[in-house]
Amino acid sequence: MKIFIDTAEVEQIKLLVPTGLIDGVTTNPSLIAKSGRKIGEAIVEMCALIPGPISAEAVASDYDTLLAEGRFLAKIAPNVVVKLPLTPVGLRVCKTLSDEGTPVNVTLCFSAVQALLAAKSGATYISPFIGRLDDNGSDGMELIRDIRLIYDNYGFETQILAASARTALHVRDAALAGADCATLPPAVFNALYKHVLTDLGLDAFMKDWITTGQSIL
């Protein structure tokens, strides 16, 4: 499973790059607003830090402007993925950009039939929002399972990018359900390392090691 970081904070990405575990980055207008950065500058810096896909979201509501924004974002760097909303206009632009060879991440997906339309529009990634579905009394993971089945039924190559992940359990369940990627806020990524028995076990090993009086180097 590919792991993307869901943030527009370049400093947070810099801290995570040395883990060697980060395959890409996703951003959205809310994350850009929170960072206080200009989108173009932030995306340039992210693309230089990580060679993998960096999703940058276009925001216009009409076809011509959304397409122009997508083309503008795609020119920033070869690893930019244009993020587009799951709307009729968004999917039209998705088809145009995908036909031009630009990878597209279709976002704000909350149903399996929306995901079917995105795949038919040539999306490289579909972003079902697990956490927001759970917040609204639905089962976000059921959506991941449904999309996996539909894409496999028809051989769609669109990658399922589990988004709006809030916990390590979301990541486990998305991986079990066959999601191709998950995008995680830095805190959720860091939580993946954690297990209380790892901490307790390491503590006991270190206490015993000190009693040997040895040093390895």
* Chain residues that interact with ligand G3P, rule: CB under 6 A: 6, 26, 28, 129, 131-132, 163-164, 183
Among 14, 38, 75, 83, the one annotated catalytic: 83
Q: Is residue 20 within a helix (H) or strand (E), and if so which, with residue range?
A: none
Shortest Cβ 185–ligand G3P spacing (Å)? 7
Report whether 148 contacts 160 (CB < 8 A).
yes
Q: Quick check: is 38 catalytic? A: no
Point out the residue whose Cβ comes nearest to ligand G3P: 164
Phi-psi region at 213: left, alpha or beta (left = phi > 0; alpha = psi -120 to 50)? left
Q: Give the nearer residue to ligand G3P in terms of CB position, either 93 or 130.
A: 130
Shortest Cβ 148–ligand G3P spacing (Å)? 18
Q: Give the nearer residue to ligand G3P in terms of CB position, either 21 or 155.
A: 21
At 162, give phi and psi (nearest 5°): -65, 115
Q: Is residue 162 within a helix (H) or strand (E), and if so which, with residue range?
A: strand 159-162
Phi-psi region at 86: left, alpha or beta (left = phi > 0; alpha = psi -120 to 50)? beta
Q: Give the nearer residue to ligand G3P in terms of CB position, either 135 or 152.
A: 135
Shortest Cβ 209–ligand G3P spacing (Å)? 41
d(Cα 158, Cα 125) in Å, to the nearest integer?
5
Give catalytic residues, as residue numbers.
Answer: 83
